[in-house]
């Protein structure tokens, strides 16, 4: 083994078996903290280096981040497919030129990002979050009603999927009858953004079909809120304050971003927290003894499991990072999952310890793109795990072995089957 890590091979899109990742991350951090992959991605794995990139958006642009929800142009598409795509696009009730050039907040840089964030933050203020707590509790109680009478249940299907999707509907002001539909649009947008579909024609078709369905449903709602504002996020986004408001396309994109960024991530953190607690009985015992440790337990599960494993940036100029030269245009993977286990910041970093001193981990990002839904996600997960807590001592993981989601970007369990002991 060479000391500079030249013999290491790592690819964030093919990282290797999950149970070996902590050891792989340690090698990266110690021997190749700025690692250049054979596919030309620069992987940053130390805590301070990840934070340093996130702190300098002028030098490290967010434009390679997906969550776009937009159709990229692809010269490879054959005329027949192009015809189908144009036919699909024809019925979309927004300006297609604006849609094609629009950026999601996650992929925008200042000053565009600053303006979008200022407007969207109106809908995520403390009063809104407080009000959300009531809705979160009601959904959690309804989803878990009757579990005592069942021999086992899948936590993911029962609560971890519906809670975030229902809350996103609640925030956007979408009627309760549309939850199933919203979840399927959200999954379709996530599949396109997450690169799950390799055939470009298929990807474009799914993208346009979903945009068409969603916008046909959602644009009238935007128009309605523009005329008759309510207390929801859409009204907050389209209401002009100091002459600032989002356009229909920007509001549509924001809704898509929230659906993609807020659904599977929160679903995964609910499942991950419960699995971590049940897999670490001594930590569960501490929590049962002192339920005020619940926020720490959720934060610790967020640290160790990093529901979003990495995010991208692009160098806007030639630069240097931790002594390594990085060329202009370089695509950089900020590996939050690896950074969260950096022993320079976290003692005994691979252990799940709910009493560890509070050091902010990077699972919600850092800097100007810090997760807009972090408070909401935190409340959802605390409510879900808190509601289960009185039962957790009497529940065990069933249906083993647990199966992970196939995504390498989003870390979570497909099912978390719980059975009464």
Residues acting as catalytic residues: 261, 264, 266, 371, 380
Q: Is 163 in the site for ligand HEM (CB under 6 A)?
A: no
Q: Is 372 in the site for ligand HEM (CB under 6 A)?
A: yes
Q: Determine the angle formed by the axes of helices 126-144 and 374-392, rounding to 10 degrees.
A: 30
Residues 169-188 that bind ligand HEM (CB under 6 A): none
In this structure, what is the dihedral angle of CA atoms 256, 257, 262, 265, given to the nearest 10 degrees? 110
In this structure, what is the dihedral angle of CA atoms 106, 112, 117, 123, given to the nearest 10 degrees? -110
Q: Which C-beta is closer to ligand HEM: that of 207 or that of 256?
A: 256
Q: How far is 106 from 54, CA to CA, in rounded Å?
A: 12
- Strands laid side by side in the 417-420 sheet: 152-154, 417-420, 395-397
Using CB under 6 A, pick the residue from 94, 105, 155, 255 that binds ligand HEM.
Answer: 105
Q: Residue 311: how many CA atoms within 13 Å on its side-chain side?
A: 27
Residues 106-125 that bind ligand HEM (CB under 6 A): 106, 117
Q: How far is 17 from 402, CA to CA, in rounded Å?
A: 14
The residue count of the chain comes to 421
Q: How far is 354 from 360, CA to CA, in rounded Å?
A: 13
Q: How far is the CB of 258 from ligand HEM (least distance, A)?
A: 5
Q: How far is the CB of 62 from ligand HEM (least distance, A)?
A: 6
74 near 85, Cβ under 8 Å?
no
Q: How far is the CB of 277 from ligand HEM (least distance, A)?
A: 16
Smallest Cα–Cα separation from 336: which of 304, 374, 367, 314? 304
| Phi-psi domain of 195 (left: phi exceeds 0; alpha: psi -120 through 50; beta: other) | left
Q: How far is the CB of 99 from ligand HEM (least distance, A)?
A: 18
Q: Is 269 in the site for ligand HEM (CB under 6 A)?
A: yes
156 near 148, Cβ under 8 Å?
no
Interface region with ligand HEM, contact rule CB under 6 A, candidates 19-27, 125-133, 193-201, 368-376 = 368-376
Q: Which C-beta is closer to ligand HEM: that of 85 or that of 167?
A: 167
Residue that the structure tokens 């800097």 belong to:
367
Q: Which C-beta is closer to ligand HEM: that of 147 or that of 308?
A: 308
Distance of CA 254 to the CA centre of its chain: 14
Q: Which C-beta is closer to ligand HEM: that of 15 or that of 262?
A: 262
Q: Is 155 in the site for ligand HEM (CB under 6 A)?
A: no
Residues 345-364 that bind ligand HEM (CB under 6 A): 363-364
Q: How far is the CB of 75 from ligand HEM (least distance, A)?
A: 28
Using CB under 6 A, pick the residue from 246, 376, 388, 408 that binds ligand HEM.
Answer: 376
Using CB under 6 A, pick the residue from 88, 371, 384, 416 that binds ligand HEM.
Answer: 371
Q: Is 62 in the site for ligand HEM (CB under 6 A)?
A: yes
Q: Is 298 in the site for ligand HEM (CB under 6 A)?
A: no
- CA-to-CA separations, 241 to 115, 118, 303, 339, in angstroms, rounded: 12, 11, 37, 39
Stated as kind and residue range, the H or E segment containing 311 is strand 310-315
Using CB under 6 A, pick the residue from 210, 266, 283, 361 that binds ligand HEM.
Answer: 266
Q: How far is the CB of 194 from ligand HEM (least distance, A)?
A: 14
Q: How far is the CB of 37 from ligand HEM (least distance, A)?
A: 19
Q: Which C-beta is closer to ligand HEM: that of 5 or that of 378?
A: 378
Distance of CA 76 to the CA centre of its chain: 30
Contact residues: ligand HEM, CB under 6 A: 62, 65, 105-106, 117, 168, 257-258, 261-262, 265-266, 269, 307-308, 311, 363-365, 369, 371-373, 376-377
């Amino acid at each position: 083994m060479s000391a500079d890590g030249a013999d290491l091979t790592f690819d964030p899109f093919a990282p290797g078996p999950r149970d070996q990742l902590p050891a792989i991350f340690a090698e990266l951090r110690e021997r190749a903290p700025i690692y250049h992959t054979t596919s030309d991605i620069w992987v940053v794995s130390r805590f301070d280096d990840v934070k340093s990139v996130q702190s300098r958006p002028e030098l490290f642009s967010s434009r390679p981040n997906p969550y776009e929800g937009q159709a990229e142009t692809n010269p490879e598409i054959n005329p027949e497919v192009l015809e189908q795509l144009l036919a699909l696009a024809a019925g979309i009730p927004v300006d297609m030129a604006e849609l094609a050039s629009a950026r999601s907040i996650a992929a925008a840089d200042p000053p565009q990002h600053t303006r979008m964030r200022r407007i969207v933050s109106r809908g995520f203020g403390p009063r809104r979050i407080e009000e959300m707590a009531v809705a979160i509790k009601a959904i959690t109680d309804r989803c878990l009603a009757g579990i005592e009478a069942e021999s086992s249940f899948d936590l993911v299907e029962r609560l971890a999927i519906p809670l975030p999707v229902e809350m996103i509907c609640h925030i956007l002001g979408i009627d309760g009858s549309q939850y199933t539909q919203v979840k399927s649009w959200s999954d379709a947008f996530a599949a396109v953004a997450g690169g799950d579909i390799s055939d470009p024609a298929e990807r474009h078709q799914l993208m346009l079909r979903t945009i068409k369905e969603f916008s046909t449903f959602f644009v009238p709602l935007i128009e309605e809120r523009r005329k008759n504002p309510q207390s929801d996020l859409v009204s907050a986004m389209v209401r002009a304050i100091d002459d600032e408001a989002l356009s229909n396309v920007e509001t549509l994109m924001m809704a898509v971003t929230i659906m993609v960024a807020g659904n599977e991530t929160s679903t995964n953190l609910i499942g991950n927290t419960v699995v971590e607690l049940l897999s670490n009985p001594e930590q569960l015992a501490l929590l049962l003894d002192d339920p005020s440790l619940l926020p720490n337990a959720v934060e610790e599960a967020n640290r160790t499991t990093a529901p979003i494993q990495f995010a991208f940036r692009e160098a806007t100029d030639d630069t240097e990072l931790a002594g390594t030269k990085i060329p202009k245009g370089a695509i950089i993977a900020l590996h939050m999952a690896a950074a969260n286990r950096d022993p320079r910041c976290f003692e005994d970093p691979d252990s799940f310890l709910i009493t560890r001193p509070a050091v902010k981990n990077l699972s919600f990002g850092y800097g100007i793109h810090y997760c807009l839904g972090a408070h909401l996600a935190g409340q959802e997960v605390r409510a879900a795990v808190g509601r289960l807590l009185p039962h957790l001592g009497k529940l065990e993981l069933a249906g083993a072995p647990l199966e992970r989601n196939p995504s390498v970007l989003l870390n979570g369990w497909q099912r978390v089957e719980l059975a009464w002991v």
